[in-house]
Amino acid sequence: MTVLLVALGGALGTALRYWANVVCTERFGTGFPYATFAVNAIGSCALALFSQILAQRSLAGVPMALVVGTGVLGGFTTYSSFNLETMRMLQQGEVGRALFYASLTFVTCLTLAALGLLVGVRMMR
């Protein structure tokens, strides 16, 4: 049952990531990896928040944090795409752009994760 619930959550997260890519590409073009940046930033905050809120809840005996965190948000966020996009920038000689993207992603995701934890802790008080 656990594997099925995580897989269903992953399917939902993957579909959401695909939708984010379509929307960002239509709106901003392909000049910068906006979708990957957005899903990783949103996912960092959401995972931290939901890990605090859902840790004690379950669905059919399976912890909701596992379904939402590993399933939905694991399928939604994409570290591998971030790495590939950064490597492609480096291969194309765009060292400054690659460093900007990597730094922006790192700082934003850590900051939003900290915010998510803070909000989650305060909500559970």
The amino acid at 12: L
pLDDT over 80 at 118, yes or no:
yes
Domain residue limits, the chain: 2-123
Three-state secondary structure call for residue 57: coil
* β-sheet bridge partners, residue 36: none
Q: What is the pLDDT of residues 53-104, one digit of tens each?
A: 887 677 667 788 888 999 999 999 999 999 999 999 999 999 999 999 999 9
Looking up tokens 């004690």 gives 56
Helices of type H across the chain: 2-28, 34-53, 64-65, 74-76, 79-91, 95-123
Look over the chain and give the mean of its residue pLDDT values, rounded to a whole number: 94
